[in-house]
């Protein structure tokens, strides 16, 4: 018999918490719709263990405008040995989305035992252009997890809002790690951190401490530098952290940066905020450049934009900064009171580096909404 370590045992017990009691209601068919946002990490999740357990804690701003809306229609069928579902994006059937959803269903079946008793139609659309290079896995997987939780709620009769959100985040994580940070807003922590009591590797929680006025309505303008498919998927990138020469130090650094952010959020120190956020973005890409095989997701225009931001900050008193996700696009973060000046700067000096001059204006948001 394999002996479990204490932390493995804890994880195991916590997972049990999400296995439902036998359902008290029956349901023949119906449909539910959720709209769920994307999010942008300040401390990055890069590297994971088995079962979608992150190697380090991360924290993100939930976005407001960038979101996925998903309608899940379901009809009862005899329990089958296979999952039965079809997927549509903007009304067009998307068989190439099916393997990822199939994997998701396999991972969550133990927690949602009704899955094989229904046929599902998944109809989804994004507020942002499909080919914008913006990852839709966070918003997409969280929207689907929320729809499934709405079905479970109907089957169970009573589920508290807290349990609903926690389990939706737990399920979303099994679809795509960062998706667990998209259920609520406006700042979400995922991954166990010693200074944050209720933090968990299994789901995201609302950031529990004081946040200074400076961060209210923080803006995120996303510059679309490259709208093409990424050459290396996040999943492959995460896996490359397993044999990575700098992995252990990087995971420690993420813990340290989380601790620093706690006092930064409290005091509103934007200069210190900028240092952490930009360093996290560049560290993420440094991990990509130093893995084996190595790869580069930034494009020349990504660097042009970063340099322009640094000059602008030197010349003005601006608190603008950048972050990156696993791609070439640049997220420009800034306080709401700088909106007019920064938009002027973006239009005059940065849009020229965007593909077809495209950018998306977004800001901090407060999480997913049930539409129907
Ligand atoms: C760089 O959540 O897309 O955006 O769990 O394999 O689906 P999977 O990975 P994913 O990774 C996101 C990585 C990141 C950083 C972050 O959002 O924290």
Which of 343, 333, 330 shows the shortest CA–CA distance to 302?
330
Confidence at residue 14, expressed as pLDDT on a 0 to 100 scale: 84
* CA 27 to ligand 1 centroid distance, Å: 35
| Ligand 1 touching residue 285 (CB < 6 A) | no
pTM assigned to the model: 0.96
Pocket-testing residue among 178, 233, 327, ligand 1, by greatest number of atoms within 8 A of Cβ:
178
In whole angstroms, what is the distance from residue 63 CA to residue 40 CA? 7
**According to the model, what pLDDT value does residue 10 have?**
72
* 132 band by pLDDT with thresholds 50, 70 and 90: low
The Cα 227–Cα 247 span in angstroms is 29
Summarize pLDDT for 157-209 with one digit per residue, the tens. 889 999 999 999 999 999 999 999 999 999 999 999 999 999 999 999 999 99
Cβ of 137 below 6 Å from ligand 1: yes
Which string of DSSP letters, residue by residue, matches 220-275?
EEEE-S--SPPSS-HHHHHHTTTT-TTHHHHHHHHHHHHHHHHHHHHHT-HHHHHH
Q: Is the CB of 58 under 6 A from ligand 1?
A: yes
Q: Tell me the Cα Rg of the chain.
A: 21
Pocket flag, ligand 1, residue 235 (CB < 6 Å)? yes
Q: What is the pLDDT of residue 228?
A: 76
- Give the number of other Cβ atoms within 10 Å of residue 78's Cβ: 6
The percent of the chain in helix, strand and coil, each rounded to the nearest 5, is 45, 25, 35
**3-class SS of residue 354:** coil
pLDDT higher for 72 or 133? 72
Ligand 1 centroid to residue 77 C-alpha, Å: 35
Q: 220 near 42, Cβ under 8 Å?
A: no
Ligand 1, atom 12: closest residue by C-alpha: 178
Per residue in 228-249, pLDDT (tens digit) is 777 788 999 999 999 999 999 9
Q: What is the mean pLDDT of residues 127-137?
A: 75
* Residue closest by Cα to atom 8 of ligand 1: 176
Q: 287: which 2 tokens?
A: 């991990």
Could you tell me if the CB of 44 is within 6 A of ligand 1?
A: yes
User: From the alpha carbon of 284, which atom of ligand 1 is closest?
Assistant: 1
How many residues can be counted in the chain? 372
Contact 194, 179 (CB under 8 A): no
Q: pLDDT per residue over 258-270, tens digit each?
A: 999 999 999 999 9
Q: Whose CA is nearest to atom 5 of ligand 1?
A: 177
Tell how far the Cα of 75 is from the centroid of ligand 1, in angstroms: 32
Q: How large is the average pLDDT for residues 343-368?
A: 97
Nearest Cα to 250, choosing from 226, 224, 271, 280? 280
Write the CB contacts of 21 (distance below 8 Å, at least 6 apart in sequence): 156
Q: What's the confidence (pLDDT) of residue 136?
A: 77
Ligand 1 atom having least distance to the Cα of 179: 2
- Kindly report, residue by residue over 307-345, the tens digit of the pLDDT: 999 999 999 999 999 999 999 999 999 999 999 999 999
Ligand 1 atom at minimum distance from 324 CA? 1
The C-alpha atoms of residue 15 and residue 17 are separated, in whole angstroms, by 5
What is the distance between the alpha carbons of residues 125 and 140, in angstroms, rounded to a whole number? 9
**79 falls in which pLDDT band (50, 70, 90)?**
confident
| Residue range 47-66, pLDDT digits in tens | 999 999 999 999 999 999 99
Mean pLDDT calculated for residue range 274-298: 97
Range 338-359 burial, b when 16+ CB lie within 10 A, else e: beeebbebbeeebeebbbeebb
- Please give the C-alpha separations between residue 312 and each of 247, 273, 297, 328, 334, in angstroms, as whole numbers: 33, 17, 24, 20, 13
Residue 1: pLDDT band (50, 70, 90) is low
């Amino acid at each position: 018999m394999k002996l479990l370590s204490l932390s493995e045992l804890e994880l195991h017990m916590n997972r049990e918490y999400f296995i439902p009691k036998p359902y008290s209601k029956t349901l023949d068919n119906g449909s539910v719709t959720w709209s769920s946002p994307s999010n942008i990490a300040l401390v990055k999740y890069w590297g994971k263990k088995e079962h979608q357990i992150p190697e380090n804690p991360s924290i993100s701003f939930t976005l407001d405008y960038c979101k996925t809306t998903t309608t899940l229609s379901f009809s009862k069928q005899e329990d089958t040995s296979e999952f039965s579902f079809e997927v549509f994006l903007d009304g067009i059937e998307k068989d190439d989305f099916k393997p990822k959803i199939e994997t998701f269903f396999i991972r969550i079946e133990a927690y949602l035992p009704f899955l094989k008793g229904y046929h599902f139609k998944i109809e989804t659309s994004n507020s942002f252009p499909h080919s914008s290079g913006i990852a839709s896995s966070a918003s997409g997987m969280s929207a689907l997890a929320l729809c499934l939780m709405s079905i479970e709620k109907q089957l169970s009769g009573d589920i508290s809002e807290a349990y609903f959100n926690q389990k939706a985040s737990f399920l979303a994580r099994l679809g795509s790690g960062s998706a667990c940070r998209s259920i609520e807003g406006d700042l979400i922590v995922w991954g166990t951190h010693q200074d944050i009591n209720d933090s968990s590797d299994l789901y995201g929680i609302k950031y529990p401490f004081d946040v200074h006025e400076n961060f209210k309505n923080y803006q995120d303008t996303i510059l679309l530098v490259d709208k093409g498919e990424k050459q290396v998927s996040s999943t492959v990138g995460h896996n490359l952290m397993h044999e990575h020469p700098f992995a252990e130090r990087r995971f420690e650094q993420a813990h340290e940066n989380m601790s620093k952010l706690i006092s930064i959020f409290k005091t509103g120190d934007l200069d210190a905020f900028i240092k952490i956020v930009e360093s996290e973005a560049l560290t993420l890409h440094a991990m990509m450049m130093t893995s084996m095989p190595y790869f580069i997701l930034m494009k020349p225009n990504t660097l042009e934009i970063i340099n322009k931001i640094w000059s602008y900050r030197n010349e003005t008193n601006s608190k603008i900064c950048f972050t990156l996700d696993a791609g070439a696009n640049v997220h420009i973060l800034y306080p709401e009171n700088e909106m007019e000046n920064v938009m002027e700067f973006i239009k005059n000096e940065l849009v020229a580096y965007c593909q077809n001059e495209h950018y998306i204006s977004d800001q901090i948001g407060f999480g997913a909404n049930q539409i129907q």
